[in-house]
Amino acid sequence: MRPRWAVLAATSAIVLAGLAHAQVAPPPPQAFVLLRQASLDMSALTKGGMEAAMKADKEARTQAYAAASLAKWAHALPSMFPSGSGPGETPYKTQARAAIWQSRPAFEAAAANYGAAADRLAELAGANDTEGFKAQLVTLSHACDACHAAFKDGDRGPR
């Protein structure tokens, strides 16, 4: 039985090494406009669902998965704004302001603030600190609003 596992392990290693070296073209910049629009919509829906759960007197722990998912997404957010995906650079309409690319450090700082707020929200959900979770949802909303005020044109999203 042991030789079979050795063969399986060796074969798996060869296959995984081949996959690791496979060249996959990155998505074109215009794809990022659609990716970020969809993900920002899902983020807003996730946040709205958590707010509804708190209004329905649910415990924070019931929102642990949603909060952890939002935190992971928050840290990926800056990567959804690569060069070439700004206003007028793609066939798709974007509400992203040119300031994202012109003032990248400020944008990344605002995104990091949002990520930190989302991380704290996930921590509070995991600890089942419902009152803290409710307060952190407000802090998270402020982080969203601050970033949108500086870096987004048009509708600020659902309220």
Mean pLDDT value across the chain:
88
How many domains does the structure of the chain reveal? 1
Of 132, 136, 139, 128, the C-alpha closest to 62 is 128
Residue 4 maps to a domain: no
How far apart are alpha carbons 16 and 81 in whole angstroms?
Answer: 30
Residue 114 maps to a domain: yes
Residue 11 maps to a domain: no
Give residue 26's pLDDT band: very low, low, confident or very high (50, 70, 90): confident
CATH code where residue 47 lies? 1.20.120.10
The pLDDT value given to residue 155:
72
Give residue 17's pLDDT band: very low, low, confident or very high (50, 70, 90): low
How confident is the model over 51-77, as a mean pLDDT?
A: 97
Residue 157 maps to a domain: no
Residue 53 maps to a domain: yes
Residue 8 maps to a domain: no
The answer to whether the predicted template modeling score (pTM) of the entire model surpasses 0.85 is: no
